[in-house]
Amino acid sequence: MKYVLVQLLLVFAFAVTVPAQQAKPLSDDPELDKRLMNLAKELRCLVCQNETLADSQADLAQDLRAQIREQMKAGKTDKEIITYLTDRYGQFVLYRPPVEPSTYLLWFGPFIFLLAGLFVLFRYVKQRRQLIPESSLTVEQRRRVDEILKEREKPA
Amino acid sequence: MTRFIIPLGIFLVLIAFLAIGLNRDPREVPSPLINKPAPAFSLPQLKDPSKTFSAEDMRGKVWLLNVWASWCISCRDEHPFLFEYAKTGAVPIYGLNYRDKRDDALAWLSELGDPYVLSVSDTDARVGINYGVYGAPESYLIDRNGVIRFKQIGPITPDVWEKTIVPLAKELNK
């Protein structure tokens, strides 16, 4: 009982303090927020590299979201904003790297491996087929088979 | 025997790739700003906010812009070295106090000393973003025409200073 009380107390303690930690309402323009979040999902946070700009709570991510919001308000297109970011942080901020010579291996590498795998598999199967000889029975064996079969057909 | 050679070969190639991958720092993102004009800025000076300092003021000089902050742990490691680098006179070092509170920054300088010719306050990180800063400390070597010629991400180690920055600054000063 005491334990439950302590837990309840804890719950209430946090119930009071947590809302202060929650994300501030983004702005008075939900349409803009939606656009911001959609764009931010395509962008990498450079501080914690496996997070998107939308998910990251790093200071830099917050600054960049503020920048993007400002630019959206100023009427910039998504494309212009992406150019703005890649001019400063490089292609690395994009979660979907563009198809260009330096990323060919990244984009087409898996298909090359797939083709190589298929080639190896094909050759292996073909080789195996050759390994199993299609041997027909010798005359002697055929005679024995016939004999056995005849024996069986005989009524007991 | 030959049936082992191909898997062994593939294995060795894999090892080679992994070895290269492990020895690269994934935090070092190549900056697209190298050999591009340094973004213009005009910011209040840290010690005397009534005065501004702009990148334009440094036209005709080779200089180093060092991004630092009082909250930045690696900056603390780099700091004592900056005094030594500044002493050599190879290149003047200016500070960009990035995303910091002025009081904290001033306290930091009075505690650890001030190796900079001067520092400017980039409180809202606007200039930092224009320079593509994502992890302080970062340093930019800027030539006479205001073009960024080299960027160091993370502390400037004595090795980088002697082998890269000093020779490059010498060449740019010719």
Give CATH for domain B34-173: 3.40.30.10
pLDDT for B174 equals: 84
Phi/psi class of residue A90: alpha, beta or left (left: φ > 0; alpha: ψ in -120 to 50)?
Answer: left
**Structure-block tokens of residue A107:** 């984009």
Strands B93-98 and B119-122: parallel
Q: Which residues of chain B carry a pLDDT beneath 70?
A: 1
pLDDT for A20 equals: 46
Q: For residue range A103-125, what is the model confidence (pLDDT) as tens digits?
A: 888 899 999 999 999 999 999 99
A89/B134 Cβ within 8 A: yes
- Give A48 or B104, the one with higher predicted confidence: B104
pLDDT for A60 equals: 87
A47 part of contact set with chain B, CB < 8 Å: yes
Q: Which of B99, B129, B135 lies at the smallest CB-CB distance from A67?
A: B129
- The 10 Å Cβ neighbour count of residue A143 is 11
Helix, strand, coil fractions of chain B, as percent rounded to 5 = 40, 20, 35
pLDDT for B150 equals: 93
A120 part of contact set with chain B, CB < 8 Å: no
A88/B129 Cβ within 8 A: yes
**CATH architecture of the domain with residue range A24-98:** Orthogonal Bundle (1.10)
d(C-alpha B61, C-alpha B55), whole Å: 10
Phi, psi values for residue B97, rounded to 5°: -80, 105
A47/B29 Cβ within 8 A: no
Going from N- to C-terminal start, the domains of chain B cover 34-173
B124 part of contact set with chain A, CB < 8 Å: yes
Q: For residue range A67-80, what is the model confidence (pLDDT) as tens digits?
A: 899 898 888 898 99
ipTM: 0.75
For residue A62, pLDDT over 70 is answered with yes
- Give A64 or A11, the one with higher predicted confidence: A64
- Give B7 or A133, the one with higher predicted confidence: B7
Most confidently predicted of A31-45, A134-148, B136-150? B136-150
| pLDDT tier at A30, thresholds 50, 70, 90 | confident
**Structure-block tokens of residue A90:** 């490089």
A49/B32 Cβ within 8 A: no
| pLDDT tier at A129, thresholds 50, 70, 90 | confident
B29 part of contact set with chain A, CB < 8 Å: yes
Q: Identify the three-state secondary structure at position B121.
A: strand
Residue A63: list chain B partners with CB under 8 A: 99, 124-125, 128-129
Going from N- to C-terminal start, the domains of chain A cover 24-98, 102-153
Q: Which of A59, A91, A92 lies at the smallest CB-CB distance from B99?
A: A59
63-82 in chain A: CB under 8 A from chain B: 63-64, 67
For residue A18, pLDDT over 50 is answered with no
pLDDT for A32 equals: 85
Nearest to A46 by CA among A95, A108, A107: A95
d(C-alpha B139, C-alpha B153), whole Å: 7
Terminal-residue alpha carbon distance, chain B: 62
- Give A90 or A17, the one with higher predicted confidence: A90
B30/A86 Cβ within 8 A: no
B129/A64 Cβ within 8 A: yes
Nearest to A85 by CA among A108, A68, A104, A101: A68
